[in-house]
C-alpha cells in the first residue's frame, strides 16, 4: 500500500513544531522522542507501520482546539487516533504528521436516564460507555468485536457496527450529537439531547468520515434499557444455499432477531477448538439470537426453529442455560483470535445482498484455490456484512501481496453483486485504492468536496479514504 512522500519542510521543522505544541499543551502531553513515538506507528492493520513526527494527547476540547490551531498555522498534517484498533489503517501515521490521540479524554460528562442519553468524552472505550450505565439497567447498543479497547472517537470516525446491529443499528443510528474541533481550531457543536437536525444533517456526514473532517472530542449517545433476556439458537446446515434460505425465511416470517451470525466449515472447526462451544461439523452454522421475556423468547425461538427444521438441519439446538448461551457466543466472538492463533490473516469487510451469499461463497472458494491461500468466512448474515479471513504467512516473501490481491478480488466481487467494499471497518488505507470500483469519479469528487468545506487545506488524515491519484491535486495544493 503506497503512502505519499512526507513533506520535507514539515520534517525539517520538527523542533519548532514540538516547541509550539508544548506552548499550548502540558509538556507530558507532547511525545516527540523517537523511542516513544514508535508506540503510535500503526493500528490493528499491523502490516503497515510508520512512526509519526510526534504524538499529542490533549485532555479536553480546548486543548484539542489550541493544538490544531498550531498545526493549522504551521501546515502540519494531523492523524486523529482513537484506541488504534482500526483494521483498515485509519490511524496509520505519515512520517510528517502529528498523531492526535484522544486517550486522555475518557470521562463521562453526563448521564440522563429520563432522556435516555449519555454524554462522554470521545476517548472513552465502547464497553465502558455501557459500563457507566449498566447499574441502572441501560446499555449502549453498537458492539464492535473490539469493544473492550476501541474508543467512541474511532467508532464515530468509522461508523462502527457489531453483531447486534440488525436490531439496534450502527453508530450513526445511536449518535445524537458531537462536539467537534475543526482543523483550524474552530469548535462546532452538532446535535444534542434532542432528535434530528434543525437544517442539513451534518452529524450524518461527520459519522463515518474517518477523521477527515474534524476531531470529535465529545459525543451524546443514545442509551437503551437492556432487554429482559436473550437466548441464542444454533443451527447447522450442509450447504451455504440452505443456510442463506433459512435466513431469508426467518426475516420474511416477520421475525427480527437481534443477531444472525454465519460461520463456514473452516471457522466452525477453528472456533470449536478454541472455545469448546459444541459446534457441529457442517458446512454452514447459524447463530440466531432473540430477546425478550422468557415466554417471548420461547415463542420467537419456536417460530424460528420451526422454519429451521423445514430445511433439514444437521443440528438445531437452543441454548439450555446461560452458560451454554455464553459458550455459543464465545466461539463466534473469538473467531478472529482463534484464527490468529493458527495463522496470519487479513480480515475483509465487504457487504453483499443476502441473496448473493451462496454465489459469493462459491466464488471465494474458487479464488482461494487460485491464489493458494486458505480462507474462512464469518458473516453478519442478517445484514449481509461478510468477514472473509484470508490466511497468509507474514514471513514468506510475497505472501502478503498475494493475500492483498485476493482480498481486492473478493471486494470487487462484493461490489459486482450489488454490495460494497466495507460494511463497518471503514476504508482507511486498506480499501482506499478500490474506491474507484464502487464509485465513479463524480461520486468521489462529491465526497472530496465535503472535505474541502471542513478542511480546505487537506491536513486531516488526508492520505486515507480516497485513491491517492484522486486526492493528489488537493493534497498537493
Span interacting with other proteins, options 35-43, 93-101, 378-386, 467-475, rule CB under 8 A: 378-386
Whose CA is closest to 308, among 388, 235, 206? 235
Residue with cell string 464469518: 378
Total site size for other proteins, rule CB under 8 A: 93
The grid cell for 64 is 484539542
Q: Give me the least distance between CB of 422 and other proteins, in Å please.
A: 5
Contact 424, 87 (CB under 8 A): no
Q: Give me the least distance between CB of 411 and other proteins, in Å please.
A: 10
Contact 128, 214 (CB under 8 A): no
Q: Contact between 422 and other proteins (CB under 8 A)?
A: yes
Residue with cell string 439470537: 289
Q: Contact between 90 and other proteins (CB under 8 A)?
A: no
Nearer residue to other proteins within complex by CB, 31 or 180 = 180
Nearer residue to other proteins within complex by CB, 113 or 281 = 113
The site string for other proteins over 118-137 (x = CB under 8 A, - otherwise) reads -------------------x
Question: What are the DSSP calls for 94-132, one per residue?
Answer: -TT-EEEE-TT---EEEEETTTTEEEEETTSBHHHHHHH
Q: Contact between 465 and other proteins (CB under 8 A)?
A: yes
According to CB under 8 A, which one of 438, 461, 470, 471 is a site residue for other proteins? Answer: 438
Q: Contact between 204 and other proteins (CB under 8 A)?
A: yes
Q: Contact between 472 and other proteins (CB under 8 A)?
A: no
Q: Give me the least distance between CB of 88 and other proteins, in Å please.
A: 9
Q: Contact between 20 and other proteins (CB under 8 A)?
A: no
Residue with cell string 466449515: 265
The grid cell for 6 is 512526507
User: What totals of helices (H) and strands (E) does the chain contain, helices first?
Assistant: 19, 18
Alpha-carbon dihedral 333, 125, 433, 47, rounded to 10 degrees: -70
According to CB under 8 A, which one of 277, 425, 429, 459 is a site residue for other proteins? Answer: 425
According to CB under 8 A, which one of 40, 138, 140, 237 is a site residue for other proteins? Answer: 138
Contact 42, 94 (CB under 8 A): no
Nearer residue to other proteins within complex by CB, 228 or 405 = 228
Nearer residue to other proteins within complex by CB, 96 or 218 = 218
Contact 421, 427 (CB under 8 A): yes
Span interacting with other proteins, options 54-62, 194-202, 281-289, 329-337, rule CB under 8 A: 194-202
Contacts of 383 (CB under 8 A, 6+ apart): 165, 166, 351, 354, 423
Site for other proteins in 275-334 (CB under 8 A): 292-293, 295-296, 299-300
Q: Give me the least distance between CB of 13 and other proteins, in Å please.
A: 29
Q: Give me the least distance between CB of 112 and other proteins, in Å please.
A: 7
Site for other proteins in 45-84 (CB under 8 A): none
Q: Contact between 416 and other proteins (CB under 8 A)?
A: no
Alpha-carbon dihedral 49, 54, 60, 66, rounded to 10 degrees: -130
The grid cell for 183 is 482543523
According to CB under 8 A, which one of 10, 17, 70, 207 is a site residue for other proteins? Answer: 207
Q: Contact between 159 and other proteins (CB under 8 A)?
A: yes
Q: Contact between 369 and other proteins (CB under 8 A)?
A: no
Alpha-carbon dihedral 49, 54, 57, 63, rounded to 10 degrees: -140
Q: Contact between 436 and other proteins (CB under 8 A)?
A: no
Q: Contact between 398 and other proteins (CB under 8 A)?
A: no
The grid cell for 164 is 447486534
Site for other proteins in 337-356 (CB under 8 A): 351-355
Phi, psi of 118, rounded to the nearest 5 degrees = -130, 140
According to CB under 8 A, which one of 22, 116, 363, 474 is a site residue for other proteins? Answer: 116
Whose CA is closest to 191, among 209, 213, 174, 212? 174
According to CB under 8 A, which one of 60, 305, 447, 457 is a site residue for other proteins? Answer: 447
Amino acid at each position: 500500500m503506497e503512502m505519499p512522500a512526507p513533506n520535507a519542510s514539515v520534517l525539517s521543522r520538527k523542533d519548532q513544531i514540538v516547541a509550539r505544541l508544548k506552548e499550548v499543551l502540558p509538556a507530558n502531553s507532547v511525545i516527540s522522542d523517537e523511542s516513544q513515538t514508535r508506540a503510535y506507528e500503526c493500528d490493528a492493520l499491523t502490516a503497515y507501520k510508520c512512526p509519526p513526527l510526534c504524538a499529542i494527547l490533549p485532555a479536553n476540547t480546548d486543548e484539542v482546539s489550541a493544538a490544531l490551531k498550531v498545526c493549522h498555522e504551521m501546515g502540519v498534517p494531523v492523524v486523529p487516533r482513537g484506541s488504534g484498533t482500526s483494521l483498515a489503517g485509519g490511524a496509520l501515521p505519515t512520517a510528517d504528521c502529528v498523531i492526535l490521540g484522544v486517550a486522555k479524554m475518557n470521562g463521562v460528562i453526563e448521564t440522563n436516564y429520563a432522556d435516555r442519553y449519555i454524554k462522554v468524552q470521545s476517548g472513552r472505550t465502547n464497553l465502558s460507555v455501557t459500563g457507566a450505565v449498566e447499574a441502572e439497567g441501560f446499555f449502549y447498543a453498537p458492539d464492535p468485536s473490539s469493544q473492550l479497547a476501541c474508543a467512541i472517537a474511532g467508532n464515530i470516525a468509522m461508523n462502527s457496527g457489531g453483531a447486534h446491529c440488525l436490531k439496534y443499528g450502527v453508530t450513526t443510528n445511536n449518535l445524537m450529537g458531537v462536539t467537534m474541533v475543526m482543523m483550524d481550531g474552530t469548535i462546532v457543536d452538532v446535535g444534542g439531547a434532542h432528535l434530528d437536525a434543525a437544517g442539513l444533517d451534518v452529524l450524518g456526514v461527520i459519522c463515518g468520515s474517518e477523521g477527515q473532517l474534524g476531531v470529535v472530542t465529545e459525543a451524546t449517545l443514545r442509551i437503551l434499557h437492556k432487554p429482559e433476556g436473550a437466548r441464542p439458537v444454533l443451527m447447522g446446515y450442509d450447504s451455504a444455499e440452505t443456510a442463506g434460505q433459512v435466513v431469508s425465511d426467518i426475516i420474511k416470517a416477520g421475525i427480527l432477531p437481534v443477531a444472525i451470525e454465519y460461520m463456514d466449515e473452516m471457522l466452525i472447526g477453528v472456533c470449536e477448538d478454541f472455545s469448546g462451544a459444541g459446534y457441529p461439523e457442517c458446512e454452514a452454522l447459524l447463530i440466531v439470537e432473540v430477546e425478550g421475556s422468557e415466554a417471548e423468547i420461547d415463542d420467537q425461538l419456536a417460530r424460528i426453529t420451526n422454519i429451521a427444521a423445514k430445511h433439514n438441519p444437521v443440528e438445531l439446538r437452543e441454548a439450555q442455560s446461560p452458560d451454554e448461551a455464553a459458550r455459543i457466543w464465545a466461539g463466534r466472538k473469538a473467531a478472529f483470535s482463534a484464527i490468529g492463533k493458527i495463522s496470519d490473516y487479513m480480515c475483509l469487510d465487504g457487504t453483499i445482498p443476502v441473496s448473493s451469499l451462496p454465489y459469493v461463497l462459491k466464488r471465494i472458494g474458487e479464488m482461494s484455490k487460485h491464489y493458494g491461500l486458505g480462507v474462512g468466512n464469518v458473516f453478519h448474515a442478517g445484514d449481509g456484512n461478510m468477514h472473509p479471513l484470508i490466511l497468509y504467512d507474514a514471513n514468506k516473501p510475497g505472501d502478503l501481496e498475494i493475500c492483498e490481491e485476493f482480498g481486492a478480488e473478493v471486494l470487487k466481487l462484493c461490489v459486482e453483486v450489488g454490495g460494497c467494499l466495507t460494511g463497518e471497518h471503514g476504508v482507511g488505507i486498506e480499501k482506499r485504492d478500490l474506491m474507484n470500483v464502487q464509485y465513479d469519479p463524480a461520486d468521489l469528487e462529491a465526497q472530496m468536496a465535503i472535505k474541502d468545506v471542513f478542511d480546505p487545506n487537506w491536513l486531516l488524515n488526508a492520505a486515507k479514504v480516497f485513491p491517492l491519484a484522486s486526492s493528489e491535486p488537493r493534497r498537493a495544493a
